[in-house]
């Protein structure tokens, strides 16, 4: 078999492999290899002008252009509210996994819960990571699917419905307001409660608790594509076992 024919089969093989490759850099390098082989084939068929055009445009210019464009990746802006090291690191790894799968650069901004939600509603960030409970949604904010099960602990002095942290930013702030009588009831998630206990704060035993809640990320309501894409990623992580591995690695 002639060399040119062998090279044509190599091109066919490389072209097929592009359909299976996920890394964009690998795709670009494979394209460059195809173009380089094409230059050799054109030369073998005594077409130096075509070979020169392929080398200058198809190989050098196109590969260079693709690599430059690849450097300007899209960004996912996330506002991070630090709750507990275990939860914080788990959320960052989940977000990093999503960004890697979608070739995005993760940009994290630290904030308080109330400021984070305001930034989300104002369009200054795309997601909020704050160990949100999956039921904490509104007309403007949607919650992703849950990634970690938790409990809700209730503190109250009357029969009224409890609100999350009583509107305060931290569990300790809500607890002080509760003890002083400024608020009559509030609820908190297990991670915030345990974090305060482990730091040595004297925290009372809650009146009762409820199971079946999950931690989620917050997404603005008018970004359904991001919400659906992130939920699909969480689903794939659960099915592959990657999410469970992350939880076991970070949650004590």
What is residue 57's three-state secondary structure? helix
In angstroms, the CA 252 to CA 243 distance is 15
pLDDT for residue 158 = 62
Task: Kindly give, in sequence order, each residue whose CB lies less than 8 Å from that of residue 149, ignoring residues fewer than 6 positions away.
Answer: 211, 212, 213, 214
Q: What is the pLDDT, as a whole number, of residue 112?
A: 84
CA distance 245 to 241: 6
**Which of 121, 123, 118, 151 is closest to 135 using CA atoms?**
151
Backbone φ, ψ for residue 46 (5° rounding):
55, 50
- Domains by residue range for the chain, with CATH: 3-71 (no CATH), 74-250 (3.40.190.10)
**pLDDT at 37 (0 to 100):** 84
pLDDT tens over the chain, length 252 residues: 477 778 778 878 887 887 777 666 777 788 788 888 888 888 877 777 777 877 787 777 777 777 666 655 578 899 999 888 899 999 999 999 999 888 888 999 998 877 888 888 888 889 999 888 887 666 788 899 999 999 999 988 665 577 888 888 888 888 898 888 888 889 988 888 888 877 777 788 888 888 989 999 999 887 788 999 999 999 999 999 999 999 999 986
pTM: predicted TM-score of the whole model, two decimal places: 0.68
Residue whose C-alpha is closest to residue 186's, from 195, 196, 176 = 176
Check residue 22 and give its pLDDT.
64
Q: Give the span between the Cα atoms of 202 and 147, in whole angstroms.
A: 29
> Tokens in use for 234?
């969480």
List 96's β-bridge partners, or say none.
Answer: none
DSSP 60: I
- 70 contacts 26 by C-beta, under 8 angstroms: no
């Amino acid at each position: 078999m002639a060399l040119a024919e062998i090279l044509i089969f190599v091109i066919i093989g490389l072209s097929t492999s592009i359909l299976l490759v996920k890394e964009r850099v690998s795709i670009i390098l494979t394209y460059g290899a195809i173009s380089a082989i094409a230059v050799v084939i054109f030369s073998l068929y005594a077409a130096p002008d075509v070979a020169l055009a392929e080398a200058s445009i198809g190989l050098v210019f196109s590969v260079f252009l693709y690599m430059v464009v690849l450097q300007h990746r899209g960004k996912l802006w996330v506002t991070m509210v630090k709750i507990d090291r275990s939860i914080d690191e788990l959320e960052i790894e989940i977000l990093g996994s999503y960004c890697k799968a979608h070739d995005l650069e993760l940009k994290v901004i630290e904030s308080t819960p109330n400021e984070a939600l305001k930034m989300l509603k104002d369009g200054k960030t795309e997601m909020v990571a704050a160990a949100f409970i999956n039921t904490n949604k509104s007309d403007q904010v949607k919650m992703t699917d849950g990634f970690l099960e938790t409990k809700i602990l209730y503190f109250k002095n009357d029969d009224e419905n409890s609100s999350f942290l009583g509107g305060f930013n931290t569990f300790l702030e809500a607890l002080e307001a509760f003890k002083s009588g400024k608020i009559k009831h509030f609820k908190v998630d297990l991670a915030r409660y345990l974090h305060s206990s482990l730091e040595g704060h004297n925290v009372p035993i809650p009146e009762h608790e409820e199971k079946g809640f999950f931690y989620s990320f917050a997404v603005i309501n008018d970004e359904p594509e991001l919400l659906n894409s992130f939920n699909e990623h969480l689903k794939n992580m659960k099915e592959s076992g990657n999410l469970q591995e992350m939880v076991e690695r970070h949650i004590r």
